[in-house]
Amino acid sequence: MRSRNAAYAVGKVDYVLATTHPAGPHWRADRAAWARDVRGFCEGTDFEGLVVHGFGVDHDGAAWVDFTATLKQGVVDASFRERSRFRPHEGRWAYLEGTHRA
């Protein structure tokens, strides 16, 4: 989770795409369009902080991380809390999906 947050913060788009699981809802077959969208998000967002609240493994073997990301998009606070799930893909953990939390 920390490595993906850092990749977004410094615009490492290829890393974000490579660490997204193809079975998840964020994966896109049109890699060029996906990369443009991620790059635009990175360029339009200030990544101010990340707090990990917990992590573990679900009963189905997926790893999870509960975190809060502090983000700003211009003057708008875009911060959120999420419970992300990860599954192995091509020899490393890949982001599968996330559920926003209150």
Domain layout of the chain by residue ranges: 2-101
SS (H, E, C) 37-70: HHHHHHHCCEEEEEEEEEEEECCCCCEEEEEEEE
* Confidence band for 71, pLDDT divided at 50, 70 and 90: very high
State how far the Cα of 39 lies from the Cα of 11, in Å rounded to an integer: 6
Mean pLDDT of the chain: 96
Q: What average pLDDT score do residues 57-86 get?
A: 96
CB-based contact 54:81 (threshold 8 Å): no
pLDDT tens by residue, 7-51:
999 999 999 999 999 999 999 999 999 999 999 999 999 999 999
* Confidence band for 102, pLDDT divided at 50, 70 and 90: confident
* Confidence band for 1, pLDDT divided at 50, 70 and 90: confident
Q: Which CATH architecture best describes the domain 2-101?
A: Roll (3.10)
